[in-house]
Amino acid sequence: MFTSLKRIIKSGWKSFFRDRGLAAATVFILVLAISLATSLFLFRGVSQFIISLIEQKADISVYFKQEVFVPEEEILKIKDELAKIPEVKEIEYISHEEAVKKFLERYPEERSPHITRGVKETEGVLNLASLNIKAAEAAQYAAIAKFLETAPFKNLIDVDYYPRKPLIERIFSLTSTLNRAFLLFSIILAAAAILITFNTIRLAIYNSGEEIKIQRLVGASNWFIRGPFLVQGVISGVIAGLICLLIFSLMSRGLSLKIETFFPGLNIFQFFVSNFWTIVLIQFATGIFLGVVSSFLATRRYLKA
Amino acid sequence: MRLKLKYNMIKFENVTKIYPRNTVALEDVSFEIREKEFVSIVGKSGAGKTTLLKLLLVEEKPTRGRIFFKGKDITKIKSGKLAGFRREIGAVFQDYKLLPSKTTYENIAYALEVIGASEEEISRDVPKVLEIVGLTERANNFPPELSGGERQRAAIARALIHRPEVILADEPTGNLDPYHTLDIIRLLLKIQEMGTTVILATHNREIINSLGKRVITLEKGRVVRDEERGRFIL
């Protein structure tokens, strides 16, 4: 058993290096397939980033009525109360001071002196504190809004849900379309990669059809014949995986800055580094899986009795 | 001293092989071959010689009839046991059927590897057999780098390395010049003298007439003659 395994590995290894042209073609196709799988993973990271950026625009804000003074402790209590609602994904408290600061950052004094003056004049008169609520899905905003309308503190707050409702729904419809399109795109590309790889390896093994017949006539068992082809599939997969790892390391490093100019905050190299082991796993698993499964299926037709 | 009786190693029992479009390759063929015998199967091209050997190697199944190898009906052999059965037979083909991606040494060693021989056995036996067939100098050459005679000797070396009980040789001299033909026939006779049953399919008149061994003559798929010390008569 161990001797046979050793012979199978040795034979696969020798065949791989003897038939360099064929090996190079197989590795090349596997590099394409692995690159596709890795691109899909990276693209998913990018699309999730974009989707989360878009989703961040969807929220409802709870303001506090100006007629009644609501102290900060009371606001924080309301925040805790709201955090208990299952539909609430995230809740952020923006104090009056923070709101003023943000406003002034947006409209600096030198550019908008009237606005700045106006805001400063409201000091001690208006309460600009608010609670920003985010939900996981568009439909959940209605439930949150309904809760706020019937909450015990309903007389203290103003909610901006209804004017923002169409925008929120559009944002979520856009992100769900993006997600679906990505999934469909991934399935089509993955299927194409599998078919191309399988057919290339099948054609490569087609040349060995006569050799397989001879091996059978000499009395070799099916596994003794198939084994070296599977070993060649593994070697091709590993080499293709290594090549892809190198290509994607260099590319993500080189393109990171350029991508960041289009999508501020999206550092593709950082994403690559933080997901390094997942990417290594995807690349080697894809390469070895495609190499081995294609070899297995391609040899099957010649090994039927 | 007890005399060991020779038993029937191979038996064809009313074997008929019909290919598609009603092409009859063999018709009602029956004969027996004893162990350690040297039997020549002769006949014109298309007489059924190759089909007969293919049936014996279970490359084909008969349309009718039964074929026995050491008492077992090989027409009913299960696919899982086919490899094991073929290891008991050494086959030499007219087109050599060497593995092109392996060297001469590796081609011969392959027959030992499939039966699970140890590395020691392989490194001991392969050089010996290479020497017997005169290919020591060509051990590291690939089949396309060998001449026709060398390829055929390599094929014979592969067929006999694992000491099979039977060697089937289908037109082993078909592509060779007279000098190499004689070489191969001498080798087959030597193998038979060492105790192996040899079945030689050929249409070479001179070889058959010089052998003085048993000859089964096929004509249009039928056995028309079976003589102990036969001659090539067609």
For B79-96, write each residue's pLDDT tens digit: 889 999 999 999 999 889
How many CB atoms are closer than 10 A to CB A78? 22
The alpha carbons of chain A give a radius of gyration, in whole angstroms, of 30
- Digit-coded pLDDT (tens) for A66-86: 777 778 888 888 888 888 888
The minimal CB distance from B79 to the residues A18, A218, A305 is found for A305
* Residue B226: pLDDT over 50: yes
Is the pLDDT at B10 greater than 70, yes or no?
yes
Q: Does residue A196 lie within any of the structural domains?
A: yes
Is A40 found in the same domain as A63? no
pLDDT (0 to 100) of residue A224: 94
B212 vs B16, more confident:
B16
Same domain, A38 and A149: no
Which range among A94-98, B12-16, B130-134 has the greatest average pLDDT?
A: B12-16
Hey, which residues 2-41 in chain A have their CB within 8 Å of chain B?
A: 3-4, 7, 15, 18-19
Q: Are B173 and B204 in contact (CB under 8 A)?
A: yes
Q: How far is B1 from chain A (nearest CA, A)?
A: 37
Residue A282's pLDDT is 94
- Burial (CB < 10 A; 0-12, 13-18, 19+), residue B137, is exposed
Task: Say which DSSP state B46 is in.
Answer: T
The mean pLDDT value for B12-28 works out to 94
Same domain, A210 and A187: yes
Whether residues A295 and A184 fall in one domain: yes
Residues with pLDDT less than 50, chain A: none
| Selected residue of B99, B115, B140, B166 to mutate for chain A interface (largest A Cβ count, 10 A) | B99
More confident residue, A263 or B118: B118
On whether both A177 and A28 belong to a single domain, the answer is: yes
Residue B2 has a pLDDT of: 45
For residues A78 and A29, membership in a common domain is answered with no
Q: What is the total count of domains within chain A?
A: 2
Nearest CA in chain A to B96: A214
End-to-end CA distance of chain A, in Å?
A: 23
A259 is a domain residue: yes
Look at residue A106 in the predicted model and tell me its pLDDT: 76
CATH at residue A107: 3.30.70.3040
Q: Is residue A95 part of a domain?
A: yes
Shortest Cα–Cα distance, A303 to chain B (Å)? 10
B193 vs B36: CA distance, rounded Å: 8
Residues A102 and A214 placed together within one structural domain of the fold: no
pTM (global) more than 0.80? no
Asked if the structure places residue A46 within a domain, the reply is yes
Is the per-residue pLDDT at B145 higher than 80?
A: yes
Last residue of a domain, one of A111, A129, A163: A163
Instruction: Round the average pLDDT of chain B to a whole number and report it.
Output: 90
CB contact under 8 A, A3 and B114: no
Q: Quote the domain boundaries for residue A189.
A: 2-54+173-303
> Do residue A159 and residue A266 come from a single domain?
no
What CA–CA distance (Å, rounded) separates B107 from A136? 66
Q: What is the pLDDT of residue B1?
A: 44
Domain contains A168 = no
Q: Which of A163, A197, A224 is the endpoint of a domain?
A: A163
Percentage of residues of chain B with pLDDT beyond 70: 97
Same domain, A110 and A37: no
Same domain, A49 and A63: no
Tell me whether residue A38 is in a domain.
yes
User: Quick check: is A137 in a domain?
Assistant: yes
Mean pLDDT of B18-37: 93
Q: Is the pLDDT of residue B6 over 70?
A: no
Predicted pLDDT at B76: 93
CB A175 within 8 A of CB A55: yes
**A183 and A151, same domain (yes or no):** no
Question: Which residues in chain B have their CB less than 8 angstroms from residue A215's CB?
Answer: 99, 110, 114
In a domain, A82, yes or no: yes
| A198 and A87 together in one domain | no
ipTM score over 0.90, yes or no: no
Q: Using the predicted structure, report yes or no on whether residue B231 has a pLDDT greater than 50.
A: yes
| Domain stops at, among A105, A138, A163 | A163
